[in-house]
Structure 1
Amino acid sequence: MNHQEAHDLCNKHMHRYVGVTMSDGTIHDGIVEHVDEVNLYLAVPIGSMELEQMRAFVPFPTPYPYFGNPYFYPGYGFGRRRFARQVLPLAGLLALSLLPYY
């Protein structure tokens, strides 16, 4: 598959859950988030083990703690990320197929 065919195929499947096979044999699955001239950006679902590693707690600085920011309360962190972005080169794309989303 040449570069232009890969770009057109990824644009055709924008915002869909797909399986991507790369030329080195690796297989990735995720939602096509963005395609540019060089890369394919997938939103890849992450499991609970990876969630714990990616979670961070960074409060917003306010002059009056707990009162200046209505979205920050003690004991509550920010929401968990359910997807991670993965960037794949279009040059290494071998196949792209639609997958059922459960």
Structure 2
Amino acid sequence: MNTYSKDHILNLCKSHMKQYVLVETQQGEQLQGVIVDMDDENVYLVTPVIHQEQRNPYAYGYGYGSPYGYGYGYPPSVGLRRLILPLTAIAALSLLPWY
């Protein structure tokens, strides 16, 4: 794996500000998100999060056998989280298409 200078990664992140990117870290993790901010040390990403929560399907009158709805259980919850990555932890960055 190539190791780029901090200045190279900083310029790369600046040129991809507010765009949907794939970030690969020095440890080999891959993260998808939008670069929303940055400073001289860190990059701030907003990343999607999908949780498959195991909740009680009978709570609050929803789910199987309920007079208020059909089906069983709940759909997955979707959200966003803000992730702070040090510039020195980034090994590669590339653009991704919006879906």
Q: TM-score, normalised by structure 1?
A: 0.66
Q: Residue 83 of structure 2 corresponds to which residue in structure 1?
A: 86
Q: Partner of 2:45 in structure 1?
A: 42
Q: Which amino acid aligns with 2:95?
A: L
Distance 1:29 1:81 in 2: 15
CA contact (8 A) 2:50 2:78 kept: no
Q: Which runs of 4+ in 1 moved over 4 A?
A: none
Opposite residue 90 of structure 2, the aligned amino acid is: L
Instruction: Give structure 2 stretches of 5+ with no counterpart.
Output: 56-76
Q: For residues 60-75 of structure 1, what are the structure 2 equivalents within 5 Å? A: none
SS of aligned partner of 1:82: strand
Q: Which residue, out of 5, 23, 27, partners 1:2? A: 5
Count of matched residue pairs:
74
CA–CA separation in structure 1 for the residues paired with 2:43 and 2:92: 13
Q: RCO higher in 1 or 2 (8 Å CA, sep ≥ 6)?
A: 1
TM-score of the aligned structures, taking structure 2 as reference length:
0.68
Q: Identity rate of aligned residues, in percent?
A: 35
Of Structure 1 and Structure 2, which has the larger fraction of its residues in strand?
A: 2
Aligned to 1:99: 96
Per-residue Cα deviation, 1:20-70 (whole angstroms, up to 9, x for no partner) = 0011111111000111111111000111448x9xxxxxxxxxxxxxxxxxx
Q: Which 5+ residue runs of structure 1 have no aligned equivalent? A: 53-79
